[in-house]
Amino acid sequence: MSEYTVIVADSVRARFFTVENARDPQNESSPKLLEHEGMLNAAKELPERKRTGNSTSGRNRSPSGGSYAFDDHRSKHEQDALRRFAKKVVAKGIRQTSRQDARRCLVVAAEKRVLGVLRAEWAAIKTNGIEIRECDRDMAGETPLKIQELLAKRKLIPALKKPLQRTRT
C-alpha cells in the first residue's frame, strides 16, 4: 500500500493519484505516481448559458437614458458549485487515504482559489490523523511524471529514482 495520496484539482476536475513502489526496483524506476481516477465538476460541464439562464441584454436602460444595475448572482452560484465539488473531492481523498496502512499523507495541489475552498472543506470534517500537505500550483493538466517532479522539488512526495543497475563483472 502507498503512504501518499495525491489530489491535483482545479475548478473543473480533480485527479487522484498514489505514490507506489516498484515491484522490481532492479529494473523499474521507483516510487511512481500512479493515477487511479478522476472526477469532473458537474456544474462546469454545462454551458454557461444553461447554468445561468438567459441574459437580459438591453433591459437595464430606463427611458430617460440612465441604467440599472442588475446582479444575477452568478459569482455566488459559481462559488457554491465549487464548494460542493470541493466537498466531494475532499471526502473521496480522505476515504482513499484512510484505507492505507502505514503513515498516511494526503498531498493536495491546486490553484490558490481552489486550494482555499478545499482547505475550508477538510477543516470542517474529521481527518483521523491524516497529514495534509498543500501545494498552491495548478497542475491539473500536467502528466503524472511532471506532477511528481514538481511535488518532489517542493519535498512533498519522494522523487522518482532510476532503477538499480546491476554491475557487470
CATH class of residue range 4-24+33-50+74-153: alpha beta
| DSSP per-residue string spanning 5-73 | EEEEE-SSEEEEEEEE--S-TTTS-BSEEEEEEEEE-HHHHS-HHHHH----TTTTB-TTS-B------
| CA–CA distance, 67 with 62 (Å, rounded to integer) | 6
Domain boundaries in the chain?
4-24+33-50+74-153
pLDDT by residue for the chain (169 residues), tens only, comes to 578 899 999 989 999 999 888 777 677 777 888 898 899 988 776 555 554 555 555 555 556 666 656 655 667 878 888 999 999 999 898 888 877 654 688 899 999 999 999 999 888 887 777 888 999 999 988 999 999 999 999 999 998 888 765 445 4
Question: What is the pTM (predicted TM-score) of this model?
Answer: 0.76
Q: Spell out the residues 6+ positions from residue 75 whose beta carbon is closer than 8 angstroms to its own.
A: none
Question: Cβ distance 7 to 139 under 8 Å?
Answer: no
Q: What is the DSSP letter of 124?
A: H
Query: Can you name the residues that pair with 35 across neighbouring β-strands?
Result: 17
- Residue 45 has, within 13 A of its CA and on its CB side, a CA count of 6
Question: Cβ distance 31 to 21 under 8 Å?
Answer: yes
**pLDDT at residue 69 in the model:** 60
**pLDDT at residue 156 in the model:** 93
Q: How far is CA 102 from the centre of its chain?
A: 23
